[in-house]
Amino acid sequence: MPDQEGNMPASENTSRYGEKERSPDEWRECLICGKPTSESICEHCKITVQAEALAQKRKIEKGGGG
């Protein structure tokens, strides 16, 4: 509930996407692309790395080597 000045208490702050806002201390940079993220690696880079690893695994399993 907003206070008299219209500010939301810290526990109720949410971003426009519905997720809780994070303090600057909770945000870091993605270790791969450098974009701000709440995790060590952003979701886009995580998916890219997983896809590349799966492609490499399939290549090895087919006998294509490393």
pLDDT tens digits, residue range 22-62?
A: 666 678 999 999 999 999 999 999 999 999 999 999 999 99
Its pTM stands at 0.55
pLDDT of residue 64: 66
Pair of tokens at residue 65: 């080597």
Cα distance between residue 61 and residue 66, in whole Å: 10
